[in-house]
Chain A
Amino acid sequence: MRDVAIVGVGIHKWGELWNMSLRDMFALAGSRAIEDAGIDHIDSMYIGCMSSGLFTAQEHLASLLADYLGVLPAPAARVESACASGGLAFRMGWMEVASGLSDIVLVGGVEKMTDVNGDEATFALSTAADTEYEGYQGATFPALYALMARAHIDKYGTTLEQMSQVAVKSHSNGALNPDAQYPFPVTLEQVMKSTLVAEPLRLLHCSPITDGAAAVILVPADIAKAKFKKRPLVVVTGAGHATDTIALHSRKDLTWMNSTEIAAKKAYQMANIGPKDIDFAEVHDCFSIAEIIVTESLGFFEAGQGGPAAEKGITARDGAKPINTSGGLKSKGHPVGATGVAQIIEVVRQLWGEAGTRQLNNVRRGLTQNMGGTGGSALVHILEKRG
Chain B
Amino acid sequence: MKIRSPRYAREIPQRYRCEAVKAETGEIFFPPRVVYPKGVKVAPHTLAQTGKVLSYTILNVAPMEYSDLTPYALGVIELDDGARITAQIVDIDTAEIKTGMPVKIEFRKLRTEGDEGLLCYGYKVVPMR
List chain A positions with a Cβ less than 8 A from chain B.
Answer: 118-120, 122-123, 126, 132-140, 142-143, 146-148, 150-151, 154, 195-201, 247-250, 254
Chain B residues with Cβ below 8 Å from A143 are 57, 59, 74
B54 touches A140 (CB 8 A): no
- Number of A-B pairs, beta carbon distance below 8 Å: 99
* 27-70 of chain B: CB within 8 A of chain A: 31, 54-67, 69
A147 touches B56 (CB 8 A): yes
A247 touches B86 (CB 8 A): yes
A123 touches B64 (CB 8 A): yes
B110 touches A137 (CB 8 A): yes
Known: A138-B88, A143-B57, A198-B60. A133 touches B31 (CB 8 A): yes
B122 touches A136 (CB 8 A): yes
Q: Does B87 contact A (CB under 8 A)?
A: yes
Chain A residues with Cβ below 8 Å from B64 are 119-120, 123
Known: A147-B75, A147-B76. A135 touches B57 (CB 8 A): no
Chain B residues with Cβ below 8 Å from A119 are 62-64, 67
A133 vs B77: C-alpha distance in the bound complex, in angstroms?
13
Q: How far is the CB of A44 from chain B (nearest CB, A)?
A: 34
Contact-residue size bin, chain B (C-beta under 8 Å from the other chain): 20 to 34
Q: Which chain B residue lies CB-closest to A133?
A: B86
Closest 5 CB pairs of A and B: A146-B57, A249-B84, A199-B58, A123-B63, A147-B55
Contacting residue for A123 out of B1, B55, B75, CB 8 A: B1
Q: How far is the CB of B86 from chain A (nearest CB, A)?
A: 5
A249 touches B57 (CB 8 A): no
Instruction: Mark interface residues in B71-95 (1 if CB within 8 Å of A CB, else 0).
Output: 0101111000000111110000000
List chain B positions with a Cβ less than 8 A from chain A.
Answer: 1, 11, 15, 31, 54-67, 69, 72, 74-77, 84-88, 99, 110-111, 120, 122
A249 vs B86: C-alpha distance in the bound complex, in angstroms?
6
Contacting residue for A134 out of B57, B67, B86, CB 8 A: B86
Contacting residue for B76 out of A123, A198, A254, CB 8 A: A254
Known: A154-B55, A198-B61. A138 touches B74 (CB 8 A): yes
Q: How far is the CB of A153 from chain B (nearest CB, A)?
A: 9
Q: How far is the CB of A200 from chain B (nearest CB, A)?
A: 8
Q: Which chain B residue lies CB-closest to A54?
A: B1
A139 touches B67 (CB 8 A): no
Chain A residues with Cβ below 8 Å from B111 are 138
B1, B65, B74 — most chain A CB neighbours (10 Å): B74
A139 touches B74 (CB 8 A): yes
A140 touches B99 (CB 8 A): no
Contacting residue for A195 out of B60, B62, B122, CB 8 A: B60
Chain B residues with Cβ below 8 Å from A142 are 57, 59, 61
Q: How far is the CB of B118 from chain A (nearest CB, A)?
A: 12
B59 touches A122 (CB 8 A): no
Q: Which chain A residue lies CB-closest to B63?
A: A123
A135 touches B75 (CB 8 A): no
Chain A residues with Cβ below 8 Å from B67 are 119
Q: How far is the CB of B14 from chain A (nearest CB, A)?
A: 8
Q: Which chain A residue lies CB-closest to B94?
A: A199
Chain B residues with Cβ below 8 Å from A199 are 57-58, 60
Chain B residues with Cβ below 8 Å from A254 are 54-55, 76
A116 vs B26: C-alpha distance in the bound complex, in angstroms?
45
18 A-B residue pairs with CB within 8 Å:
A119-B67, A123-B64, A136-B11, A136-B110, A137-B85, A137-B86, A137-B87, A137-B110, A138-B63, A139-B74, A140-B63, A142-B61, A143-B74, A150-B56, A195-B60, A249-B76, A249-B84, A250-B84
B63 touches A132 (CB 8 A): no
Q: How far is the CB of B109 from chain A (nearest CB, A)?
A: 12
Contacting residue for B59 out of A133, A138, A200, CB 8 A: A138
A248 vs B77: C-alpha distance in the bound complex, in angstroms?
11
